[in-house]
Amino acid sequence: MKLFITGGTGSLGTELLAYSRKQGWEATAYSRDEVKQGLLKRVYPEAHFLLGDVRDEEWLELAMRGHDVVIHTAAYKQVPAAEVNSNQAVSVNVVGSLNVVRAAIRAGIHRVVGISTDKACAPVNCYGATKMLMEKLFQEACFWSDTQFTLVRYGNVLGSRGSVVPFFEEQAKKGLITITNPKMTRFWLTLDEALSLIFAAFAETEQGTILVPKCFASSMAVLAEAVAPGVPTKIIGTRPGEKVHEQLIHAAEAMHTCDIGALFRIYPATSTFESNLKEGFEYTSDTAPQLSVEQLREKIYG
């Protein structure tokens, strides 16, 4: 197996490098961060590291050649930043994703797995809208190429770079945690759970589908208590572009979604698939199974 990872020096990319070593796969990390590439090269000397940007379609194609699977993780991911830098979010998350599609097809890649987010479901912010368009681009490509495109959509990865957990941990050292809204809920999963979902996408037999895990959720107040028990909190209000509750499946998608056990499979809206879900089904972070403080702490710290 030869694996090509866009955004390969991020939290997920680093985990994929570690997994590739265990499996004996040949992995290439493609990213813009030369410092992180240098640091990771010391840890994973067997891996390949290429400097590059997903906005460079020609170089993407050349870099991808000879690989079997592409995992597309590269994106601008911070909601507040995307709200005030929408042109850059579009150029990387949308145009960059289209470049990945075109480059992968021309390079003869067997399968491409796109990493999406719950914020792509009924999006209300720029980041979510760009990831929704990425999903649509991947699904459309299935109709005019031999390359297989699959997507995974999930919530927040606990402890990943830029996530709220390390932010709360740093604040706790100063004796005060800031919370936008204590009743706000989010879906949570570990890096290992995210990896398992990606590997499920490797084996997906349907074209253009989005695989969604049955995630657990919690309020931000519960998360704060799990990360920093007893540390005082201060409510600062919802940030621009934030929802109070997230969705992984909305009612319009439920019409072409199938419950397949551990996962949901969302088919392209243009498919003729008939859902096995009840009419009006939605999967939201306030109605999903809720984690207790102890359960969430176990997920974060083991």
Catalogue the active-site residues.
119
CA dihedral 90, 93, 98, 99 (to 10 degrees): 100
* CA–CA dist 120, 250 (Å, integer): 11
Burial class (CB in 10 A: 0-12, 13-18, 19+), 40: buried
Report which secondary-structure segment, H or E, holds 141.
helix 126-141
* CA–CA dist 123, 130 (Å, integer): 9
What type of residue is 127? Answer: Y
CA-only gyration radius of the chain, Å: 19
* CA–CA dist 290, 292 (Å, integer): 7
- Using DSSP's 3-state secondary structure scheme, residue 31 falls into strand
If you ran DSSP here, which 8-state letter would residue 233 be given? E
Strand-pair partners of 30:
6, 50
Contact 179, 228 (CB under 8 A): no
- Token digits of residue 201: 């996408």
